[in-house]
């Protein structure tokens, strides 16, 4: 099995942590207000676009690449053909189930403006820190009364380390708590200097302990990731909560979950979030023209859940 591939010629991906300098912009897919997930209370989630990993199961495929993409939702399409007329390169074929030839598409986004049903959408645009700060501050009273705040998600937010530093410093000054969800593949020195002083919670993905399995399914080994996780435990008093994405047949093997439980135990950690598999990502991926190397369409079954609960029986697993 290899990582997800896209056939068309693509722009160069940024190196993580170097994409944005102070005052620069960040590519963001969505700012979701009124969320009750990914941290306490009422939250605004900011989905940054771009990630150094290529997990074959990525549940937010629209955030993988740090450039805008054209997303097609077949359920909304009424087959009017207006997009075919608007597409100068001739990349759209109504008879093709995939609809868009991604090798021909130049991502000019002109078809979006003519689509009457919203079946074509742009995934990702550049935001300034002023724009994101203003959007987050709209719900400031809700954060105060619910002990909520903002969660930086993605993609991998640390791709935009300097942008994030500027934004989170402003939020801290405004009294808005900030959490980050991270895959852990970042430069620890930069993270400690630019982000850690402004964060209130870190949600840290642990996918595999075995570096070869990590490389096979995410495109990168986990040496830096596990080292960063241990360093955080030593360097900060804010909660650093490990999160394990449960991907049937990939991360949910007994061997992998037992090795994760043992790793957490060795590091004195008794709380872990277990993230249930949600197959809806496969549709989103197909609509972006990404090729799938893993496409399980079912949720997890009872047997799988019982086995997972047993492995983590000595941990606080919250709602799982």
Build a one-symbol-per-residue string for 27-66: x at contacts with ligand SF4 by CB under 6 A, - elsewhere: ----------------------------------------
Q: Which of 30, 31, 32, 82 contacts ligand SF4 by CB under 6 A?
A: 82
Give the DSSP H/E element, type plus range, for residue 123.
strand 120-123
Using the rule CB under 6 A, is 209 a contact of ligand SF4? Answer: no
Report the residue from 2, 34, 79, 278 that binds ligand SF4 according to the rule CB under 6 A: 79
Report in angstroms the alpha-carbon separations of 91 from 7, 45, 46: 14, 34, 31
Bridge partners of residue 265, in order along the sequence? none
Bond before 155 cis per omega within 30 degrees: yes
CA 179 to chain centroid, in Å, comes to 14
Local structure of residue 154 (DSSP, 8 states)? S
Q: Is 304 in the site for ligand SF4 (CB under 6 A)?
A: no
Question: Minimum Å distance from CB 117 to ligand SF4?
Answer: 4
Q: Binding of ligand SF4 at residue 11 (CB under 6 A)?
A: no
Contacts of residue 305, defined as CB under 8 A and 6 or more positions apart, other chains included, come to none
Residue 197 lies near ligand SF4 (rule: CB under 6 A): no
Whole-angstrom CA distances from 18 to 24, 25, 83, 180, 308 are 11, 12, 37, 18, 38
Residues 112-141 that bind ligand SF4 (CB under 6 A): 114-117, 119-120
Name the 3-class secondary structure at 251. coil
Work out whether 108 is an interface residue with ligand SF4 (CB under 6 A): yes
The residue range among 12-20, 78-86, 231-239, 267-275 that interacts with ligand SF4, by the rule CB under 6 A, is 78-86
Q: Does 81 interact with ligand SF4 (rule: CB under 6 A)? A: yes
Question: Where on the chain is the footprint of ligand SF4 (CB under 6 A)?
Answer: 70, 77-83, 86-87, 89, 91-92, 100, 105-111, 114-117, 119-120
């Amino acid at each position: 099995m290899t990582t997800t591939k896209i056939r068309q010629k693509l722009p160069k991906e940024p190196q993580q942590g170097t994409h944005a300098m102070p005052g620069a912009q960040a590519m963001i897919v969505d700012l979701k207000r009124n969320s009750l997930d990914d941290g306490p209370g009422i939250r605004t989630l900011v989905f940054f676009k771009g990630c150094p990993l290529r997990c074959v199961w990525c549940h937010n495929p629209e955030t993988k690449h740090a450039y805008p993409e054209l997303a097609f939702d077949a359920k909304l399409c009424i087959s009017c053909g207006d997009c075919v007329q608007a597409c100068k390169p001739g990349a759209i074929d109504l008879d093709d189930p995939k609809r868009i030839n991604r090798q021909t598409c130049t991502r000019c986004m002109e078809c979006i403006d003519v689509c009457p049903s919203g079946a074509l959408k742009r995934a990702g645009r550049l935001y300034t820190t002023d724009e994101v700060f203003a959007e987050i501050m709209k719900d400031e009273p809700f954060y105060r009364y619910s002990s909520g705040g903002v969660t930086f998600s993605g993609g991998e937010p640390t791709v935009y380390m300097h942008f994030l530093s500027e934004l989170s410093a402003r939020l801290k000054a405004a009294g808005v708590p900030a959490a980050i969800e991270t895959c852990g593949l970042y430069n620890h020195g930069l993270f400690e200097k630019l982000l850690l002083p402004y964060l209130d919670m870190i949600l840290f993905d642990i996918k595999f302990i075995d570096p070869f399995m990590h490389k096979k399914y995410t495109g990168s080994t986990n040496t830096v990731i596990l080292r960063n996780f241990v360093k955080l435990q030593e360097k900060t008093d804010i909660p650093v909560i490990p999160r394990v994405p449960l991907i049937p047949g990939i991360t949910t093997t007994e061997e992998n979950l037992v090795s994760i439980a043992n790793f957490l135990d060795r590091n004195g950690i008794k709380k872990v979030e277990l993230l249930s598999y949600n197959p809806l990502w496969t549709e989103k991926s197909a609509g972006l023209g990404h090729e799938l190397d893993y496409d399980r369409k079912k949720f997890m079954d009872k047997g799988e859940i019982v086995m997972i609960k047993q492995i983590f029986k000595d941990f606080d697993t919250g709602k799982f």
